[in-house]
Amino acid sequence: MGEVSRYQRIARLHCLLWKYHDEKKWAHLKKTCISFLLTLGYSSVLSRKASKHIVKTFEFSDLARNSQLKNHFSGENSAYSKMEKEFLMSHSILKQQTLSPKYKIQWIKAYRHGNPFKIFYYLFKEHISLFGMQNFFLALRSTLVLFFLAYPAHYFHSWKLLTKSFEFYWGAISRAYSNDEIPPQF
């Protein structure tokens, strides 16, 4: 078997992020997050700092879900607000634009509330904010791959299919950004 490419390593790590979150393996999640950011091209120091905040976003995501299930909407909104702040901190540490976390929170919330139209809309807005209008087709392709391939694979815990989905996703992004630091997407 041939050498694993950078985007294939990124895809595998991205899948593990979601898997470890689902399994509540927080220590593994943090290690994987650091490896993920290192593979994207960030320094060890920045990867470690940002990972602390990213892991907190996963924890607040669970808190939001638990609040939603208990019909505690102010608790749910509070958890999403805290989640957004943690995403903003991680993006600031990585010197990335800070508009996309707003959209990420919106599509996660729409996902949890079962609204596919809003999921697609906010996913696309997030990708446009990450890649810019000059990369419209990359943003559209990325949105389509996540919406139609990655999320169903994640829902059914098909980790092999999820990894393949992320290979499509990160392959296109890697080609567009070549050796530059690739914008993070969790």
Q: pLDDT for 32-63, tens place per residue?
A: 999 999 999 899 999 999 999 999 999 999 99
Amino acid at 44: S
Q: Read off φ and ψ for residue 8, nearest 5 degrees.
A: -70, -35
Residue 177: band (very low, low, confident or very high) from pLDDT cuts 50, 70, 90? confident
**pTM check: above 0.85:** yes
Query: Region 98-121: what's the mean pLDDT?
Result: 95
Q: What local confidence, expressed as pLDDT, does residue 2 receive? A: 62
Q: Is the pLDDT of residue 172 over 60?
A: yes
Residues 50 and 46: their CA atoms lie apart, in Å, by 6
C-beta of residue 116 within 8 angstroms of C-beta of residue 90: no
